[in-house]
């Protein structure tokens, strides 16, 4: 049950919102679409969910194509659109029943499915209310519940945590992570920490193109390339600096501003200086107070790629 997206392009007039995107998502993956606003994340999702047809290209799922069997594909997908539109005048349970019926869930299992969704999404205390009486966080849960009511194989969530408070964000993320254990999930976000916390794989999209694809670790190391260490040595700083620079593995040493005895050490590509620095300290009887590897933050990767 993998989703194959092939050469997807969507034009709005002259502008290409999605420009020749191709990728494949395997069963059970939790994939995050990351990108600045207007990058084409939502448009890609709208095409995958058969809301709108692409200008060219195809999305295939299990051999069915969005062009020939949209009903079949729609049945296998659960979708939570951006801003979570719901029929506000309906009671939660009625709305879930309606969603189940439209998605073709068998009549006899609908009540148990509704019960399951109410449990899973934590709606039990609110289940007798109308949707317009719910807070934003609970509406988001209803949105998730209606997307999952027919037990779809793929869940597509467009910015599932926008507008929620920090506690709600944590809860929704936890929910998505739980769901991701059994299902294929595609979610979009422009919040990096969110994608990093929930997704196995990240696709960075910018101006309608995929500019990076991989786990958060591979993305980091790709953009980083060289090891960066932050060290603190108790000794004469000038001696230390020249001694470290003399090591064969080190490319650059800079003192940390305002902090006596601290240095940033950049190694040459594909080399590590950790052991060399330790040995150096032992030889000169310096005290090594601290040595930390500095990781490139995903923010830096993102900014570099989407500028």
Partner 1 sequence: MGKIWIITRRELASFFDSLIAYVLIALFLLLSGIFTWLASTNVFFIGQATMQVFFSIAFWSLFFFIPAITMRMIAEENRAGTIELLTTKAVSDSQIVWGKFLACLILVAVALFATLPYYVTISQLGNIDDGAVIGGYIGLLLLSASYISIGLFASSITQNQIVAFLLALAVGILFQLIFDVLGNSVRGAIGETLSYLSMSVHFESISRGVVDSRDLVYFASIIVLGTLLSQMMLSKRNWQS
> For residues 30 and 201, is the Cβ–Cβ distance under 8 A?
yes
Which of 7, 27, 68, 83 binds partner 1 (CB under 8 A)? It is: 83
24 backbone dihedrals φ, ψ, rounded to 5°? -135, 140
Using rule CB under 8 A, residue 46 touches partner 1: yes
> For residues 186 and 25, is the Cβ–Cβ distance under 8 A?
yes
Rounded-to-integer distance, Cα 286 and Cα 298, Å: 35
Using rule CB under 8 A, residue 58 touches partner 1: no
> For residues 219 and 195, is the Cβ–Cβ distance under 8 A?
no
Among all chains, which residue has been given the structure tokens 């997206």?
5
Rank residues 38 and 85 by Cβ distance to partner 1 and give the closer one: 85
Rounded-to-integer distance, Cα 188 and Cα 194, Å: 10
Using rule CB under 8 A, residue 55 touches partner 1: yes
Using rule CB under 8 A, residue 52 touches partner 1: yes
Q: Which two tokens stand for residue 245?
A: 């620079």
Contact string 2-41 vs partner 1 (x = CB under 8 A):
---------xxx----------------------------
Rank residues 50 and 229 by Cβ distance to partner 1 and give the closer one: 50
Rounded-to-integer distance, Cα 35 and Cα 142, Å: 26
Which of 6, 20, 58, 101 binds partner 1 (CB under 8 A)? It is: 101
Using rule CB under 8 A, residue 93 touches partner 1: no
Rank residues 160 and 261 by Cβ distance to partner 1 and give the closer one: 160
Using rule CB under 8 A, residue 98 touches partner 1: yes
Using rule CB under 8 A, residue 103 touches partner 1: yes
Using rule CB under 8 A, residue 50 touches partner 1: yes
Rank residues 103 and 184 by Cβ distance to partner 1 and give the closer one: 103
> For residues 277 and 288, is the Cβ–Cβ distance under 8 A?
yes
- Shortest CA distance to 151 belongs to which of 187, 91, 106, 199? 106
Rounded-to-integer distance, Cα 36 and Cα 304, Å: 12
Residues of the shown chain interacting with partner 1 in the complex, contacts defined by CB under 8 A: 11-13, 46, 49-53, 55, 71, 74-75, 77, 79, 81, 83, 85-90, 94, 98-99, 101-104, 146
């Amino acid at each position: 049950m993998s989703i194959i997206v092939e050469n997807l392009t969507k034009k709005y007039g002259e502008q290409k919102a999605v420009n020749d995107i191709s990728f494949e998502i395997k069963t059970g993956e939790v994939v995050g679409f990351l990108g600045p606003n207007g990058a084409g994340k939502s448009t890609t999702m709208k095409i995958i969910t058969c809301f709108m047809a692409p200008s060219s290209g195809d999305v295939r799922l299990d051999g069915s194509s969005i062009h020939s069997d949209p009903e079949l594909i729609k049945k296998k997908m659960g979708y939570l659109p951006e801003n979570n539109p719901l029929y506000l005048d309906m009671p939660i349970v009625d709305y879930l029943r309606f969603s189940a019926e439209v998605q073709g869930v068998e009549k006899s299992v609908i009540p148990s499915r509704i019960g399951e969704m109410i449990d899973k999404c934590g709606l039990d205390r609110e289940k007798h209310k109308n949707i317009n009486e719910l807070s934003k966080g609970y509406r988001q849960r209803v949105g998730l519940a209606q997307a999952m009511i027919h037990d779809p194989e793929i869940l597509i969530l467009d910015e599932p945590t926008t507008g929620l408070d920090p506690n709600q964000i944590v809860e929704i993320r936890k929910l998505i992570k739980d769901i991701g254990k059994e299902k294929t999930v595609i979610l979009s976000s422009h919040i990096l920490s969110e994608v990093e916390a929930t997704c196995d794989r990240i696709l960075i999209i910018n101006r309608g193109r995929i500019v990076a694809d991989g786990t958060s670790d591979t993305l980091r190391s790709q953009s980083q390339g060289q090891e960066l260490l932050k060290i603190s040595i108790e000794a004469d700083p000038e001696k230390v600096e020249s001694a470290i620079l003399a090591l064969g593995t080190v490319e650059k040493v800079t003192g940390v501003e305002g902090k006596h005895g601290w240095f940033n050490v950049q190694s040459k590509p594909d080399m590590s200086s950790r052991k060399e620095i330790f040995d150096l300290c032992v030889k000169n009887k310096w005290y090594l107070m601290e040595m930390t590897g500095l990781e490139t933050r995903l923010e830096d990767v993102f900014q570099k790629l989407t500028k």
